[in-house]
Amino acid sequence: MSISPPFIISILIALTVHEVSHGLVALKLGDPTAKHEGRLTLNPLAHLDLFGTLMFFFVGFGWAKPVPVNPRYFKGSIKKGMTLTALAGPASNLILAIITIIIAKIIFASGISAGPGISKFFMELFQSMLFLNLGLMAFNLLPVAPLDGSKVLAMFVPYQHEEKYEDYLRNGPMILLSLLIMERILGIPLIIGWISAIISPILLVIDKIL
């Protein structure tokens, strides 16, 4: 996927909606931290992480600056609150991908995109929006800290193993870095394989429904 205006637009939208969704669900559950720190804004600059954004351009997947969450504010179960908050980001990207397909079908069926250069722009934009959102969703579901999947997995860790899981989470950044090195330098498709395994059935289902 080339680095073009549609690609950049897609990254900004996907990352921004992802992080705002985390913050909105946390707020709904009683945590105002993201709101107080100005992270419930659709301004992409409030959410961009320099290294995570650069990763999109070099390896095709990356991340934004995590929205601050204070689970002590949650009403009810902290584990459940963290799981719902974590799932909000990937879920928002899946919804964006579905909306992208619906809008694309409407626009191309109506002929609105017809015209010199316009059709190509829309094609690139919809392609970028679709695959970046699905890719961001799948990548963030990887059960390695600080990604969302590690917080979702925590919901299912038995009480007696929580301390060991906390140790695993602390090593998350190093594990993630190792996976990235194995992916990029050694050519072992661990992350890409994970993303493909999640995206492929979703695309099949979306294609059948829409």
* pLDDT tens readout for residues 49-88: 888 888 777 776 677 899 999 999 999 899 999 999 999 9
Residue 88: the pLDDT is 98
Among the options 19, 37, 124, 162, which is catalytic? 19
Half-sphere exposure of 127 (CA within 13 A, CB side): 13
Model's pTM, two decimal places? 0.91
Q: Which run of H or E residues covers position 27?
A: helix 5-28
Residues 108, 114: Cα–Cα separation, whole Å = 8
Q: What is the pLDDT along the chain (210 residues), one digit of tens a residue?
A: 567 899 999 999 999 999 999 999 999 999 999 999 999 999 999 999 888 888 777 776 677 899 999 999 999 899 999 999 999 999 999 999 999 999 988 887 877 655 666 678 888 999 999 999 999 999 999 999 999 999 999 999 999 999 999 999 999 999 988 998 888 788 888 888 999 999 999 988 887 877
Which distant-in-sequence residues (6+ apart) come within 8 Å of 188 by Cβ?
A: 182
19 is catalytic: yes
